[in-house]
Structure 1
Amino acid sequence: MTAYVCGEKSGLIIESPYHFNGVPGLDIDAEKKFVCHKLGELQKQGATQKQITIAMKELGINRAKAYGWPNTYVFTKAVGEMLVGEMKENLSIVILRPAIVTSTYKEPFSGWVEGVR
């Protein structure tokens, strides 16, 4: 699995969809309110944009870890998939997770990526 949605599990992982109610305490609406409240507090305190950026990054990392994901990238990918699953109604869905894109080690030459160096 290359999409990082399984947190820090290792080995063979039989995939099944995550559901908000399957992640203890995770309520996306409450998370959004929490984050907006924190941003509002920082702005009210007169924090600089740099201070706000640092504080909000730290908040995101802490919230991701609180729910069992190692970072915000992994957490937001999982939340995105949960939202699609919750909002799909009667539609069939497929979530494609492309492999990690990287350059070549050796052939046809080191660093080659579809003609872009």
Structure 2
Amino acid sequence: MIFAGPDDGPIRNTNFNRRVWAKALQNAGAPKIHFHDLRHTGNTLAANAGVSIRDLMTRMSHSSTRAAIIYQHSTDERQREVAQKLNDLARGALDKPTGTQRARDQK
């Protein structure tokens, strides 16, 4: 366990935020965020890394794709990566001679 209760057992949700989470954030000098934000951030990062919808569903223990799609945010950086990959594919296709061009070149 990352966080344990006073008796070193599991923490109950009723006292986790007050006793543990708020103090952990303060001690770390971190901004006040909800514990669930960690889950959202982790799954968003996984989605950005290219994890499939099925893998996201498994990570979150969800049986529907609806929850996994929530974590599939589009970012400017990701859009640039996609544009670059499409550009590379297009350039590669343009650089290859077509069948007609090859026949002409062989004459």
Q: Same fold (TM over 0.5)?
A: no
Larger Cα-atom Rg: 2
Structure with greater contact order relative to length (CA < 8 Å, sep ≥ 6): 1
More helix by share: 2
What TM-score, normalized by structure 1, do the two folds share?
A: 0.27
